[in-house]
């Protein structure tokens, strides 16, 4: 016995990129196993699908802007993936959510045609191509008079700050704090969301809020409309308050992001894919320019997963998959794959202004046009591990994760004939 | 040298806390803090509070006693912080400070309880089924009157094992059956042996005792260390120096104790015998799946026309091997398997037995119980015995180890 298992494809990472790549591969008939040290940034990010918000100016029509970006930045993930694939990936995503475990819950918005803008917790208007249906009524153009509701018990959401910034942007917004007894040392939106799952609690919440509302036609709440049936909760709350209601993304934990994880992991299960959580991949077993197997830290003894294809969806600097050490050397930690976009020695890696374009921000695992890693013929790369993008400035992180993962599964299919045959 | 020390510190549970970025992912998954404010959550009680826990100083927080030790926080943490392990150590410190209830000294010793209960099984089972006796036990000992209690089988697995010899095949497995099999469910052990022998293993059953996990999870570290080291020596002796012999167990929390928890939580990284044993331990489903992957598992299964719901216990997930039982059950023709996604049944070994924690454990289990009831399954497969008892208690449905279904399908 050598603690080794064989699959048609092994995916490293359980963020949006890993889950989508694995689901697509499994839907194509492959036996897929996802190995992840932990869950990915779904639980932290807003749960919206941001395709391209700034390029570098605010983008109104993501479709044409994508084409221009691809033409001017050939190393950008969108250039490698192609605008057509982005559109297909979005369509697949919308259909997958619709068929998912949350009744009535879906993603809506202008997609690639017309990007919407939705209030953030700070009261800025964030561009997104698709948002959960629970956020839809927050689209800036359709907002009339707006009331931002919060509770002092949630220390990371300040309705007056949000409303003041929206008002500064010309939106008629006012803040309404509601007292909620949350009896917790560390109250957050997740705790409230679990209560929103209970219709009785929802009714009491609405009864407390209703008298505080005035002539507003829209109510914005921190994203906490429940985990089990957010669509039903939205309809219920809208009906009780007699107004359009929408969710505003919050600091972590992200309730909409948790729903997204639930939806994507259930799609993976339905397609027959396997997920091993807590399995940190520490190295690869190489044979020439190919990776034969990867090694995970399991309890007691390392475990080995062999496959003809590997997908590296382990994220970038934020997830710790790429690291800059104290000697200023950047490296990909699992397979030691070559990076691209690291500023040469002596050049600045960072600039003082946090929100500016950071020289290191575009670093990632070097890939060819088909998203195969340089120096590893059977390793494909997707998501935040890819080089060439500045997702924090472009507002493109989720779009890149989704589209590149979708593309990776296509490439494996093309290279292997059909992924299921790849083991032969 | 400093580099090495630094590295060792970073690999230890305490060292891992500096990797915490306060992302709250552990809080989203913690089954306990999601149902009770008594436990403020793994991040709050773990990496955050840990900074205030200074060696030798009094323990800063009592709430860590409400952590059930399920370990889900460690599994979901994307930064590799050993949250559950930090909290287990903090619980030990708390118990040192404030003392250990008599109850915890009793229910954490399954070997002693089993030895007492087995010869008088009829009487013991009768007493455990009596309401007044359970009420008295709650009042005197703090064991909740409604908590699920297994029934003594009245016979010991090891007696059965000693009365037979496994045919020599050249491929040896040392069977670590654990206390649940020994005193309560000897038939599960017989099934494990039959399935292993059917697949060409010679099964060796050395004399063995508890792994010390219940002691460890109640914060009785010194006793836990003695217990697990004694077990490690017993199993190591049975390996007989043969590098190809594996140790296999069906109690996933006890095998996890041997594989990882004793080393990480009890700080026994340096014990060479425990290390050798921990590297050799397999969960039974893990072993069979690997056999299947090699094309060496017999698949002469008869159809089983049933629907079964499968729950992977938290401690099984702590092996970081996914859910091999699912893949094995899928090999049985006719068997419809429904994967349950709720993470925890609530019992967490002895946690849900304790009077002050029973309600919390039941609240944790509610989501799982609901999924089972909605699954259309007649029975539940689950790898851990305490979880099976809790599941049956919470749903009224029979539950069995996955091996039971394979055993049946083999027609053994
Ligand atoms: C706080 C936060 C806010 C964000 N906000 C936005 C936003 O507003 N808009 C937007 O478009 N994007 C946003 N993003 C970015 C976006 O979420 C990511 O770019 C995108 O989801 C990338 O996903 P991914 O799957 O590539 O990587 P991740 O989600 O980072 O997933 C990486 C996965 O790899 C695993 N992993 C890493 N190393 C190993 C290893 N050695 N072995 C095994 N597994 C490993 C991790 O555990 C994880 O499962 C945000 C991200 C964060 C963290």
pLDDT tens readout for residues B223-273: 999 999 999 999 999 998 888 999 999 999 999 999 999 999 999 999 999
Within 8 A by CB and 6+ apart from B345, the residues are B311, B313, B364, B365, B368, B382, B387, B390, B391, B394
Tokens 């099999």 -> residue: B181
Residue B56 confidence (pLDDT):
67
Residue B2 confidence (pLDDT):
44
Q: For chain B, give the longest Cα–Cα distance.
A: 63
Chain B residues with CB under 8 Å of A39 CB are: 25, 29, 76, 78
Ligand 1: atom nearest CA of A280 is: 42
Note whether A5 contacts B246, CB cutoff 8 Å.
no
Q: Which of residues 30-89 of B touch A (CB under 8 A)?
A: 34, 37, 40-41, 43-44, 74-80
Ligand 1: atom nearest CA of A398 is: 11
Q: What angle do CA B274, B279, B285 make, to 5 degrees?
A: 120
- CB burial of A191-205 (b: ≥16 within 10 Å; e: otherwise) equals bbbbbbbeeeebeeb
CA of A319 to the centre of ligand 1 (A): 6
CB atoms within 10 A of CB A312: 34
CATH of domain B299-409: 3.40.50.1860
Residue B50 confidence (pLDDT):
82
Please provide residue B19's backbone torsions phi and psi, each rounded to the nearest 5 degrees: -80, -10
Long-range CB contacts (within 8 A, 24+) of B19-22: B19/A320, B19/B79, B19/B80, B19/B81, B20/B46, B20/B47, B20/B48, B20/B79, B20/B81, B20/B83, B21/B79, B22/B47, B22/B48
Radius of gyration of chain B (CA): 21
Task: Name the residue with the closest Cα to ligand 1, atom 2.
Answer: A45
Residue A421 confidence (pLDDT):
44
Fold (topology level) of B2-98: Fumarate Reductase Iron-sulfur Protein; Chain B, domain 2 (1.10.1060)
ipTM, two decimals: 0.93
Average pLDDT taken over every residue of chain B: 91
Give the strand pairing for A131-132 and A107-108: antiparallel
pLDDT tens for B344-388 read: 999 998 899 999 999 999 999 999 999 999 999 999 999 999 999
Q: Measured between alpha carbons, how far is residue B241 from residues A42, A212, B86, B172, B362 in Å?
A: 47, 76, 34, 12, 45
pLDDT tens for B297-344 read: 999 999 999 999 999 999 999 999 999 999 999 999 999 999 999 999
Q: Give the DSSP letter string of A167-187.
A: HHTT--EEEEE-------TT-
CB A107 within 8 A of CB A131: yes
Q: Does B3 score more than 70 pLDDT?
A: no
Q: Give the DSSP letter string of A328-382.
A: S-EEETTT-PPEESPPPTTS-S--SSTTSPPGGGG-EE-B-TTSBBTT-TTEEE-
CB atoms within 10 A of CB B46: 29
Residue in chain B closest to A258 (alpha carbons) equals B28
Q: Measured between alpha carbons, how far is residue A61 from residues A51, A126, A129, A421, B309 in Å?
A: 10, 14, 9, 40, 48
Mutate to test the interface with A, among B21, B236, B322 (most CBs of A within 10 A): B322
Given A43, A186, A275, which is nearest B44 (Cβ)?
A186
Q: What angle do CA A338, A318, A128 make, to 5 degrees?
A: 110
Within 8 A by CB and 6+ apart from A177, the residues are A149, A150, A151, A152, A159, A160
Q: How far apart are CA A162 and CA A273, in angstroms?
A: 41
Within 8 A by CB and 6+ apart from A362, the residues are A341, A387, A388, A389, A390
**A277 touching B (Cβ < 8 Å):** yes
Residue B49 confidence (pLDDT):
83
- Cis geometry, peptide bond prior to residue A253 (ω within 30 degrees of 0): yes
Q: Does B60 score more than 80 pLDDT?
A: no
Residue with more model confidence, B85 or A385: A385
User: Do A4-97+259-318+331-336+377-422 and A121-248 come out as alike in CATH topology?
Assistant: no
Residue A356 confidence (pLDDT):
83
Q: How far apart are CA B168 and CA A86, in angstroms?
A: 60
- Choose the residue to mutate in A11, A12, A13 for probing ligand 1, maximizing ligand atoms within 8 Å of C-beta: A13
Mean pLDDT to the nearest integer, B146-171: 93
Average pLDDT taken over every residue of chain A: 94
CATH of domain A121-248: 3.40.50
Q: Does B289 score more than 60 pLDDT?
A: yes
Residue A422 — pLDDT band, cuts 50, 70, 90? very low
Q: Which of residues 332-371 of B touch A (CB under 8 A)?
A: 339, 341
Long-range CB contacts (within 8 A, 24+) of B298-303: B298/B198, B298/B199, B298/B410, B299/B331, B300/B410, B301/B331, B301/B332, B301/B333, B301/B406, B301/B409, B301/B410, B302/B333, B302/B409, B302/B410, B302/B411, B303/B332, B303/B333, B303/B334, B303/B335, B303/B409
Residue with more model confidence, B102 or A120: A120
Q: How far apart are CA A126 and CA A148, in angstroms?
A: 16
Q: Does B208 score more than 90 pLDDT?
A: yes
Given B25, B260, B321, which is nearest A43 (Cβ)?
B25
**A167 touching B (Cβ < 8 Å):** no
Q: Does A41 score more than 70 pLDDT?
A: yes
Task: Name the residue with the closest Cα to ligand 1, atom 16.
Answer: A397
**B320 touching A (Cβ < 8 Å):** yes
Residue A419 — pLDDT band, cuts 50, 70, 90? very low
**In chain A, count of helices (H) and strands (E)?**
11, 21
CB atoms within 10 A of CB A302: 12
Given A37, A297, A300, which is nearest B279 (Cβ)?
A300
Residues of chain B with CATH 1.10.1060.10: 2-98
CB A338 within 8 A of CB A346: no
Residue B58 confidence (pLDDT):
66
Residue B102 confidence (pLDDT):
81
Q: Does B11 score more than 70 pLDDT?
A: no
CB A9 within 8 A of CB A310: yes
Q: Identify the H or E element spanning A295.
A: strand A290-297
Which residues contact ligand 1 via a Cβ below 6 A? A 12-18, 35-41, 44-46, 50, 280-281, 313-315, 318-321, 334, 383-384, 391, 395-398, 401; B 78
Q: Does B7 score more than 60 pLDDT?
A: no
Q: How far apart are CA B267 and CA B264, in angstroms?
A: 5
Encode chain B in three state secondary structure.
CHHHHHHHHHHCHHHHHHHCCCCCHHHHHCCCCCCCCCCCCHHHHHHHHHCCCCCCCCCCCCHHHHCCCCCHHHHHCCCCCCHHHHHHHHHHHHHHHHCCCHHHHHHCCHHHHHHHHCCCHHHHHHHHCCHHHHHHHHHHHCECCCCCCCCCCCCCHHHHHHCCCCCCCCCEEEEECHHHHHHHCHHHHHHHHHHHHHCCCEEECCCCCCCCHHHHHCCCHHHHHHHHHHHHHHHHHHHCCCCCCEEEECCHHHHHHHHHHHHHCCCCCCCHHHHHHHHHEEEHHHHHHHHHHCCCCCCCCCCCCEEEEEECCHHHHCCCCCCHHHHHHCCCCCEEEEECCCCCCCCCCCHHHECCCHHHHHHHHHHHHHHHHHCCCCEEEECCHHHHHHHHHHHCCCEECHHHHHHHHHCC
Ligand 1: atom nearest CA of A53 is: 11
Nearest residue to A335 (alpha-carbon basis) of A362, A313, A303, A359: A313
- For chain A, helix, strand, coil in percent to 5 are 35, 20, 45
Please provide residue A303's backbone torsions phi and psi, each rounded to the nearest 5 degrees: -120, 150
CA of A131 to the centre of ligand 1 (A): 18
CATH classification of A4-97+259-318+331-336+377-422 is 3.50.50.60, yes or no? yes
Q: How far apart are CA A260 and CA A48, in angstroms?
A: 9
DSSP state of A53: S
**A197 touching B (Cβ < 8 Å):** no
Q: Identify the H or E element spanning A68.
A: helix A62-72
Domain edges within chain A: 4-97+259-318+331-336+377-422, 121-248
Q: Does B6 score more than 80 pLDDT?
A: no
pLDDT tens for A124-179 read: 999 999 999 999 999 999 898 999 999 988 988 999 999 999 999 999 999 999 98
């Amino acid at each position: 016995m050598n603690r080794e298992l064989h699959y048609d494809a092994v995916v490293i990472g359980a963020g949006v990129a890993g889950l989508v790549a694995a689901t697509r591969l499994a839907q194509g008939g492959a036996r897929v196993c996802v190995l992840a040290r932990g869950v990915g940034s779904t639980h932290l990010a807003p749960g919206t699908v941001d395709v391209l918000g700034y390029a570098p100016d605010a983008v109104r029509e993501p479709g044409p802007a994508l084409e221009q970006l691809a033409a001017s930045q050939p190393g950008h993930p969108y250039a490698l993936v192609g605008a057509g694939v982005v559109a297909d990936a979005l369509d697949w995503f919308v259909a997958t959510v619709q068929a998912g475990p949350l009744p009535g819950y879906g993603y809506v918005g202008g997609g690639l045609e017309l990007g919407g803008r939705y209030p953030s917790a700070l009261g800025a208007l964030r561009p997104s191509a698709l948002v959960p249906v629970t956020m839809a009524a927050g689209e800036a153009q359709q907002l009339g008079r707006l009331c931002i509701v919060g509770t002092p018990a949630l220390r990371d959401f300040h309705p007056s700050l949000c409303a003041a910034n929206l008002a500064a942007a010309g939106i008629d917004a006012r803040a309404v704090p509601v007292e909620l007894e949350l009896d917790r040392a560390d109250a957050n939106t997740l705790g409230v969301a679990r209560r929103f799952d209970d219709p009785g609690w929802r009714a009491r919440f609405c009864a407390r809020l209703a008298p505080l509302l005035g002539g507003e036609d829209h109510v914005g709440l921190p994203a906490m409309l429940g985990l089990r049936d957010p669509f039903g909760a939205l309809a219920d709350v809208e009906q009780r308050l007699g107004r359009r209601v929408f969710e505003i993304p919050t600091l972590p934990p992200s309730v909409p992001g948790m729903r997204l994880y639930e939806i994507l992991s259930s799609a993976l299960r339905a397609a027959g894919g396997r997920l091993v959580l807590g399995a940190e991949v520490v190295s690869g077993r190489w044979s020439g320019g190919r990776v034969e197997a990867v090694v995970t830290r399991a309890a007691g003894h390392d475990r080995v997963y062999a496959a003809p294809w590997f997908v590296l969806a382990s994220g970038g600097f934020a997830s710790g998959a790429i690291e800059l050490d104290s000697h200023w050397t950047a490296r990909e930690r699992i397979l030691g794959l070559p990076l691209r976009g690291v500023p040469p020695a002596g050049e600045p890696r960072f600039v003082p202004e946090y929100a500016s374009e950071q020289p290191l921000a575009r670093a990632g695992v070097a890939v060819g046009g088909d998203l195969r890693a340089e120096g590893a013929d059977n390793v494909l790369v997707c998501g935040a591990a890819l080089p060439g993008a500045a997702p924090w400035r472009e507002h493109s992180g989720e779009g890149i994760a989704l589209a590149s993962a979708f593309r990776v599964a296509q490439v494996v299919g093309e290279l292997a004939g059909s992924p299921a045959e790849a083991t032969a | 040298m400093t580099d090495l020390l630094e590295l060792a510190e970073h690999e230890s549970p305490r060292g891992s806390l500096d990797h915490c970025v306060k992302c709250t992912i552990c809080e989203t998954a913690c089954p306990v803090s999601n149902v009770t404010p008594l436990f403020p959550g793994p991040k709050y009680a773990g990496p955050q509070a840990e900074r205030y826990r200074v060696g030798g100083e009094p323990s800063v927080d009592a709430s860590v006693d409400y952590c059930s030790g399920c370990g889900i926080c460690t599994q979901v943490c994307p930064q590799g912080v050993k949250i559950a392990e930090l909290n287990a150590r903090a619980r030990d410190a708390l118990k040192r400070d404030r003392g250990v209830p008599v109850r915890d000294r009793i229910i954490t010793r399954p070997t002693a309880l089993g030895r007492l209960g087995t010869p008088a099984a009829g009487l013991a089972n009768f007493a455990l089924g009596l309401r007044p006796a359970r009420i008295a036990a709650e009042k005197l000992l703090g064991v909740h009157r409604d908590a699920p209690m297994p029934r003594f089988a009245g016979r010991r697995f090891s007696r059965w094992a000693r009365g037979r010899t496994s045919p020599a095949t050249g491929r040896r497995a040392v069977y670590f059956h654990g206390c649940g099999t020994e005193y309560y469910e000897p038939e599960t052990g017989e099934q494990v042996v039959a399935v292993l022998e059917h697949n060409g293993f010679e099964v060796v059953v050395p004399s063995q005792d508890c792994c010390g996990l219940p002691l460890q999870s109640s914060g009785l570290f010194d006793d836990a260390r003695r217990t697990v080291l004694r077990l490690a020596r017993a199993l190591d002796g049975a390996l007989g120096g043969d590098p190809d012999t594996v140790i296999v167990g069906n109690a996933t929390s006890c095998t996890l104790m041997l594989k990882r928890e004793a080393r990480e939580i009890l700080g026994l990284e340096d014990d060479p015998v425990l290390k050798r044993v921990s590297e050799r331990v397999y969960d039974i489903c893990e072993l069979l799946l690997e056999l299947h992957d090699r094309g060496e598992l017999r698949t002469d299964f008869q159809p089983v026309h049933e629907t079964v719901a499968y729950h992977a216990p938290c401690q099984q997930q702590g092996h970081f091997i996914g859910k091999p039982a699912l893949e094995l059950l899928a090999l049985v023709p006719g068997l419809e398997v429904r994967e349950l996604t709720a993470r925890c049944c609530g019992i967490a070994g002895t946690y849900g037995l304790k009077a002050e924690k029973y309600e919390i454990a039941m609240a944790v289990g509610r989501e799982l119980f609901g999924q089972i009831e909605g699954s259309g399954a007649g029975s539940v497969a689950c790898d851990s015995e305490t979880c099976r008892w809790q599941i049956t208690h919470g749903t009224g449905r029979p539950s069995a180890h996955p091996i039971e279904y394979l055993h049946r399908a083999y027609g053994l």
